[in-house]
Structure 1
């Protein structure tokens, strides 16, 4: 759903950019509360993983494909504020390095693919956790539902922005019907990927999943043919909990992202995604402009002057994952350090205040 330059006029694009910048600023502040020494490096990995999976377009209808947006996945794994930042980093890397998503439409894309998807998915996720039985399965089910609804939510936001500033004269009803219809189907793929990924991380490190914090299903023992709660274990000291390094999970996730972007992406669907298909069918793309980075060495997810398509796309994917994890990790470590500084300052001033 990467909106190119020329779909939305300048005034609405500027307004969307201002709103997106405000959302990122709020998210930078909120992420200080979500990130600690263990989750900060994982946030960079989540951004890289989303970048990799977005390269894997999957078919959803005749001549149409879809790809992960990632807002739900990021929000549930590392928190909603950090999730907005993760997807924003991905969109920035894609726009600058790969000419994917217009630079003047960056604010539009952040609103659609980062802010709206996180808000919708996380609201649905938390609501369902209130009514579902406590347990890991409920987290996965809630993640599925939140991801499913987040994609048509983003499609509705695009339709609203097009109604306010579309550069072509296409009836808004037709745009809404087409966008909502195809993105409901794409939402199913989003939900499956999100639920599978969240479930896999919960299975090995539930303590690192933001949406599963506080989840503690009691251990059951069968005594005389009856299931009873096992005796409560002694609490694990905070120092021991923090000593469990997420390094193995980080390395596994990074290798997975590299394989997906460097190898599996070659087999992704080549059909246009939902927005591209709707734009071509309805004439929304009549005034689309060439991307400012169209001549980039990595434009269209290929390496310039590398003739072998498989090698060119694979190298571009690997470079993209590396750049995203580097930039994302740098940002999240900076946010984490700011949190540490705030805590230190608070601890220093507290005694004198007393």
Structure 2
């Protein structure tokens, strides 16, 4: 669902960018100063950032696996907002997923630079701050059954993706720089993202079930009788990081080559899956910035998954060192 700059006008770029930045600012404050459930579960305020790093790498790798939608010629991939929120909490999940989207945009030219604010809003905000707190968390209970986990994951994933798909069509219509008729565009966007949401819900439920069974203390809000030691927590981080590297370095090679839901919908309306960006100065500047930062455009190496996972781990673990230093100084 990564929007390209061809769909976004300067005013929409400004509005979506401002909203996303404001919400990310709130998220940073919440994570640093807000009540942290992990403190009550025997965790540490220092634990959340490393966990954000390995979960960000895991979601980055998972997003590279495009699965085919039978009978459509389209494909979809996991967004990861519900999974991240279930483990990190909604605000930390928002920061993590936004970090993934920023790295995808700048390092891999996946999604437009002008469209970055819109992509964070559509893919991260709606899943982490709307679908998770309003649907997933109320449906989940301590020691939830597999059926309840599946129902909560699928319903929240579908709602998050459908809201994002609706937002894409509204933002495209508000931009007014394409010939995409909103009604027709919406008729393709909503059904295809319904199927993608079902796929994401299945994958999310599977991961949450495994975590609940073997490492329930990693789930957000779960209270433990005994705090886990640093060694056990470190082993859990290492296991997630290893899984991310394995997925990014191997399973992504067998991903579907079919266009994703957004590209497929554009193709159904216009006959082509990609549109030319406008030629005004801001669009040219955005394209120039992305050309300079994209070290692996379009993931055109078989090691792109490993590189991306490594980049996210380095960025977030570097931030965690600064965070620990500030805690000690305080």
- Tell me the TM-score normalized by structure 1: 0.80
> How far off is 1:334 after superposition?
4.3
Tell me if 1:102 matches 2:112. Answer: yes
For 2:54, the equivalent position in structure 1 comes to 45
For 1:226, the equivalent position in structure 2 comes to none
Change (3 A) 1:332 1:274: farther
Residues 155-304 of structure 1: matches in 2 within 5 Å?
Answer: 155-210=165-220, 212-214=221-223, 236=226, 240-243=227-230, 245-283=232-270, 285-288=274-277, 291-292=287-288, 293-294=290-291, 296-302=294-300
Structure 2: distance between partners of 1:76 and 1:324: 20
For 1:27, the equivalent position in structure 2 comes to 27
For 1:127, the equivalent position in structure 2 comes to 138
Structure 1: distance between partners of 2:46 and 2:56: 17
* Contact map agreement 1:41 1:333 (CA 8 A) in 2: no
* Contact map agreement 1:70 1:87 (CA 8 A) in 2: yes
1:179-238 Cα offsets, whole Å, 9 max, x none, are 10100000011101111111111222111210x514x8xxxxxxxxxxxxxxxxxx54xx
Tell me if 1:328 matches 2:309. Answer: no
| RMSD of Structure 2 on Structure 1 (CA) | 2.3
Structure 2 residue runs of 5 or longer lacking an equivalent are 39-44, 279-283
For 2:281, the equivalent position in structure 1 comes to none
Structure 2: distance between partners of 1:159 and 1:294: 26
Change (3 A) 1:79 1:337: farther
Structure 1: distance between partners of 2:320 and 2:160: 24
SS at match of 2:240: helix
1:143-201 Cα offsets, whole Å, 9 max, x none, are 33212321112111112212221411322111211110100000011101111111111
Max Rg structure: 1
> How far off is 1:243 after superposition?
4.5
Structure 1 residue runs of 5 or longer lacking an equivalent are 217-234, 303-311, 346-354
Structure 1: distance between partners of 2:305 and 2:202: 23
Larger CA deviation: 58-67 vs 140-149: 140-149
1:236-263 Cα offsets, whole Å, 9 max, x none, are 4xxx545563111211111111111111
> How far off is 1:280 after superposition?
2.1
Change (3 A) 1:247 1:53: same
SS at match of 1:53: helix
> How far off is 1:8 after superposition?
1.4
1:2-28 Cα offsets, whole Å, 9 max, x none, are 111121111111111011100110111
Structure 2: distance between partners of 1:42 and 1:84: 13
* Contact map agreement 2:105 2:111 (CA 8 A) in 1: yes
Change (3 A) 1:286 1:244: closer
Change (3 A) 1:170 1:70: same
